Amino acid sequence: MCNPHVVETRLIASLRGYNFHDSYRIAIATIGRGKAALRTGVFHFLFNLFSVIVGILFAPQLVQLAQAISGGAGVGRQVANAQMLFNILGVVIVIGFLPIIARLLEKFIPETKADQERRKRQEEKHRKPLHERVGANI
């Protein structure tokens, strides 16, 4: 079995790296996309921040569990298993709070008139038959 401190160090580095790299890419992608996209980006950042904090706090336990399910595999497999457990744990913890989180995000990042008009256009577009939406002549 590998040294747990090596696995823990690599796990923490990967948690921070993957999650925050993802967050700034999504933040850039929300620019000019309306308040719904901004709410999604803010949620994603906060979810990643929360997950990383929980992952760092419980890294020793994640490593122990990853080592237990890895069956003597190398450090790479143990880190991958710990990362998988971390992702599942993050979703399981947050999923029950999604309605509350959605309401809070809608309260703090409300729709503008432009967002309402954009949503209306999208709804009208999706009411049309598919061949009209894609411009196909049938």
Residue 15's pLDDT is 66
Cβ–Cβ < 8 Å for 58, 82: no
| Portion of the chain with pLDDT greater than 70, in percent | 80
Residue 98's pLDDT is 95
Kindly report the pTM of this predicted structure: 0.73
pLDDT digits 0-9 by tens, 45-103: 888 888 888 888 888 888 888 888 888 888 888 888 888 888 898 899 999 999 999 99
Provide CB contacts within 8 A for 30, sequence distance 6+: 37, 38, 40, 41
Distance CA 30, CA 37 (A): 5
The conformational region for residue 112 under phi > 0 = left, psi -120 to 50 = alpha, else beta, is beta
Instruction: Tell me the range of 2-11, 109-118, 122-131 where mean pLDDT is highest.
Output: 109-118
pLDDT of residue 130 exceeding 80, the answer is: no
pLDDT of residue 1 exceeding 60, the answer is: no
Residue 105's pLDDT is 96
